[in-house]
Chains A and B, each alone.
Chain A
Amino acid sequence: MFIGEVVGNVWGQYKHPVLDGKKLLLVRPIDPMTEKPVGEAVMAVDGGFGAGPGSIVLVLDEGGSARGILCAKDAPVRTVICGIVDKASVGGRDKHYA
């Protein structure tokens, strides 16, 4: 799993039936303490936690568990938003996110 910031969204009519009605968000991995980007943005399926642009989220990048979260045992997905980050703590310093 990694921590990322939601930086956008994706829309389109034609997609795999499993993705119908799912929110598709772009997430850029960040360093939780400095909020600096540490990689390239990926598209993630919203796991139903109400994440939107600007949210700091916990992202799962593994297919088997992603299918478990979406309750779809044959979904061609790999990256899913599985939580919203409230706080990160490194070396005794806390970083709070609204």
Chain B
Amino acid sequence: MRPARILGRVFSTRQVPTLEGKRLLLIQPVSWEDGKERGDPIVAADACGSGSSEFVYWVAARDAAFAFPDQPPVDASVVGIIEGHQAGDFREHVHR
């Protein structure tokens, strides 16, 4: 599971029925240790009520579908909001 910064939301009206009611977020994956961007932004489904510019962690691949009871066709899901974390030199990074 990796961290990401939420950039914004994605909206769609014509979509797979099981995606209806799911909030789609545009997220920028970052690094745990230096906070720098890792790769390009991706679209992830929200499973924890996160919002704009929050710092979150997400799961990829098949495991992302398990974040929802009906297992929709998603390959990335935001499963938690990071309030703070420590890495490397055990300095605190508080995000909220």
Contacts and interface: CB of A to CB of B under 8 A. Distances in A.
Interface of A: 7-16, 19, 24, 26, 28, 40-44, 53, 63, 66-67, 74-79
Chain B interface residue count: which class? 20 to 34
Given A15-B79, A16-B80, A78-B1, A10 B61 contact: no
Interface of B: 1-3, 31-33, 38, 47-50, 57, 59-67, 69, 77, 79-88, 90
A76 B63 contact: yes
15 contacts: A7-B87, A8-B88, A11-B83, A12-B82, A12-B84, A14-B50, A16-B80, A41-B31, A42-B32, A44-B1, A76-B65, A76-B66, A77-B1, A77-B66, A78-B59
Contact of A77 (B38, B48, B63, B90): B63
A74 B79 CA distance: 13
Contacts of A78: 1, 59-61, 63
